[in-house]
Amino acid sequence: MLQPKRRKYRKEFRGKMKGNATSGFEVDFGEYGLKAMGRGWMTARQLEAARKTIAHCTKRQGKIWIRLFPNKPITTKGLGVGMGSGKGDIKEYVAPVIPGKILFEISGVTREIAAESMRLAGHKLPFVTALVQRGEIL
């Protein structure tokens, strides 16, 4: 599962996810991309599930780029632990996603295969997604 090797600080504030993507909103590497139309946290497990789905659907032909990395730690307290007594332990790592961000890119496959693989991968994610093509304005 994807997670950072080292961190300067172990725990982080939750933060805000306002606005739309100002970087990483264009297809830069492949021919087709999966663009986020909603906002939310994408866990490392969801990222891996979507990647596996794309690889399975394309029969591992072509090339896949993952355009985000889960580098934000999310903490939770154990069950039955009372209020106070500090921040909980790290449960998982997530990648904050805002509308317009390209999540995956693919090249070396036909449009039909790319569309189907991205559609199936979108079902694994907690927000609405769309297929975009390189150079296309959406």
Domain 32-76+90-133 classification at class level: alpha beta
Query: CA-to-CA distance for 92 and 113, rounded, in angstroms?
Result: 32
Q: pLDDT digits over 66-83, tens only?
A: 999 999 999 999 999 989
Confidence of residue 13 (pLDDT cuts 50, 70, 90): very high
Q: pLDDT digits over 85-134, tens only?
A: 999 999 999 999 999 999 999 999 999 999 999 999 999 999 999 999 99
103 burial level (CB within 10 Å; 0-12, 13-18, 19+): buried
- What pLDDT, on a 0 to 100 scale, did the predictor assign at position 138? 58
Question: 42 and 97 in contact (C-beta within 8 Å)?
Answer: yes
Q: Could you tell me the pTM of the whole model?
A: 0.92
Break the chain into its structural domains and give their ranges. 32-76+90-133
Mean pLDDT (whole number) for 33-57: 97
On the question of pLDDT at 137 being above 80, the answer is no
DSSP the chain: ----S--SSS--------S--SSS-S--SSSEEEEE-S-EEEEHHHHHHHHHHHHHHTTT-SEEEE-----EEEEEPPTTPPS-SS--EEEEEEEEE-TT-EEEEEESS-HHHHHHHHHHHHTTSSS-EEEEETT---
